[in-house]
Structure 1
Amino acid sequence: MTRSHRMALRIAAWFCVALLAFLALVPGDFQIRTPAPGLLEHVVAYLGTAILFALSYPDMRYRIAALLIAYGGVLEAMQSFSPGRHPTELDASASALGVILGISLGAILVTRPQQEPGASDGGERTY
């Protein structure tokens, strides 16, 4: 991965951190919802963020996983102070599951062998 690609992934990952905070703490009347169940929203949001972090900081996966899980828990607890919102352990658990899945998928993507663009596998195909 080139340096510019890694920088773009880092910017996207940190943008997701800010977006997670906004979406978690916006008052209930202004909450943005999708048709998906809330738990699935948590899993997907944290999965995507974790993948971006795992790809952009490949040597820090375990630290990132711990910090993102803690961040999700803190954001969930802070909902106590946001009008119309309430924290739940189930939501925090869904966020943690998303982090674990995202870091795992990111690790798989980072460790798989990279093939040069336009290169073939060199093998003859028989049909």
Structure 2
Amino acid sequence: MTLTILRTAAWTALAAIIFVTVSPIGWRPHDVMPVNFDRALAFTIMSALFVAAYPRHSVAIGIALIVCAGLIELLQFFSPTRHPRFIDAFVKATGALVGVLIGSTYNMIERRGRTKSV
């Protein structure tokens, strides 16, 4: 049950990030935090969810989400009100790496908890 919830949340987060990144600038939610912090946080949360949801694939997820950060940024070429920038992709990729570390730490703690309760 927990894995199903984590997987649903991870894929929903990815879909939301793609929508917000590619949609016209007027549809973008208003930021409360600095925009780069907002980008990094979104990718951190999403990648932590993916790593927690797919615990045996953290390295592949990390690589895929770094590539995904660049590809999502490039999708902005198809939106006339958006403009892709390398620094934005870098901030997103950095957030993805932080999320992989958080998700991996969560998985390690979760594994230890399961072995102690057996």
Structure 1 segments, 4+ long, off by >4 Å, are: none
Superposed CA offset, 1:49-96 (max 9, x none): 011011110100011111111111111011121121101111101100
Q: C-alpha separation between the residues in 2 aligned to 1:84 and 1:104? A: 34
Aligned to 1:71: 68
Which is richer in helix?
2
Paired residues for 1:1-127 under 5 Å: 4-112=1-109, 113-114=112-113
Across the two proteins, how many residue pairs are aligned to each other? 114
Report the residue type matching 2:113 in the other structure: Q
Unaligned runs of 5+ in 1: 120-127
User: Structure 1 residue 34: deviation in Å?
Assistant: 1.0
TM-score, with structure 2 as normaliser: 0.90
RMSD value, Cα:
1.5
Superposed CA offset, 1:78-116 (max 9, x none): 112112110111110110011100000111111122179
SS of alignment partner, residue 113 of structure 2: coil
Unaligned runs of 5+ in 2: none
Identity %: 28
User: Structure 1 residue 28: deviation in Å?
Assistant: 1.5
